[in-house]
Amino acid sequence: MLKARILTAFPLVIGILWLVWAAPAALSEAAFLVLTLLGAWEWAALSGWQARYQRVLFSAIIAGLLILALLLGLADYAVWRLPALFWWFGIFLLLIAQARRKTALALPSWLLLSAGVVTLTLAWLGLMAIYRGENGAFWLTSLFVLVWGSDIGGFFIGQRFGRRALATQLSPAKTWEGVLGGMILGLVLITALVSVGRLFDQPTPALGWLWPVAVMVILSAVVGDLAESFLKRHAGAKDSGYLLPGHGGILDRVDALLAAAPVMAAALMGLV
């Protein structure tokens, strides 16, 4: 399993770095759109819309909303960012309620699908806002380093030292020790990224500002991860899909970004 994850992750990382730093902007933004639509395809199935025509319909709805947002230039405005924070705070409260229950909350498909529309749209807006912003390539790389670095740290530290479960009803394998280990590795990696940037005379933020933002992004990534675990638990599924060997589906790989991207975008606008 670990070997398959590494073999899948390596070309993905290379491709992502190319999209962020070297690819034409139109191609990178198209990739964000495709990624979001693949997530929509999986979200529909986890929400109870498993028939092909239903998944196509849901993906088409998401595509229409994203194209409309693109035409309106919403990614370039801050109007959606504060509501995004409230949205994820509401999901956080829902997860707390679920963590205290012995049985899964029974939510209707229409509610899960509606949540998917909001969540996926906000995640796409977050990615677009970061990418299009000042020094966007650096900040988008920072987002990926924090999210996936903390995920790797959480996985290995949790396996080795994990004792206290974080939320058994949502994700039995996650531990408080893993969260702490992931946060430490994320902070180490983002500090290293800033140091490398300074070596090449790139504009980088002060660490005194960056570290608190990094902690917020990492914690929001945990919430995003648990939210997808909640969705999979509700659907009785182990993975969101099978597109990525060793990882599962697209949502299994980008779940943390669903929350972390809008939080990072809000932080860059000074809203948090």
Q: What is the 3-state secondary structure (H, E, C) of the chain?
A: CHHHHHHHHHHHHHHHHHHHHCCCHHHHHHHHHHHHHHHHHHHHHHCCCCCHHHHHHHHHHHHHHHHHHHHHCHHHCCCCHHHHHHHHHHHHHHHHHHHCCCCCCCCCHHHHHHHHHHHHHHHHHHHHHHHHCCCHHHHHHHHHHHHHHHHHHHHHHHHHHCCCEEECCCEEEEEHHHHHHHHHHHHHHHHHHHHHHHHCCCCCCCHHHHHHHHHHHHHHHHHHHHHHHHHHHHHCCCCCCCCECCCECHHHHHHHHHHHHHHHHHHHCCCC
User: In angstroms, rounded to a whole number, what is the distance separating the alpha carbons of residues 83 and 266?
Assistant: 10
Name the pTM for this structure: 0.93
pLDDT for 124: 97
Instruction: Give me the sign of the Cα torsion angle 195, 201, 204, 206.
Output: positive
Q: What is the pLDDT along the chain (272 residues), one digit of tens a residue?
A: 566 677 777 888 899 999 999 999 999 999 999 999 999 999 999 999 999 999 999 999 999 999 999 999 888 887 899 999 999 999 999 999 998 887 778 899 999 999 999 999 999 999 999 999 989 999 999 999 999 999 999 999 999 998 899 988 888 889 999 999 999 999 999 999 999 989 988 888 889 999 999 999 999 999 999 999 999 988 988 889 888 776 789 999 999 999 999 999 999 987 65
pLDDT for 209: 92
pLDDT for 246: 64
pLDDT for 6: 75
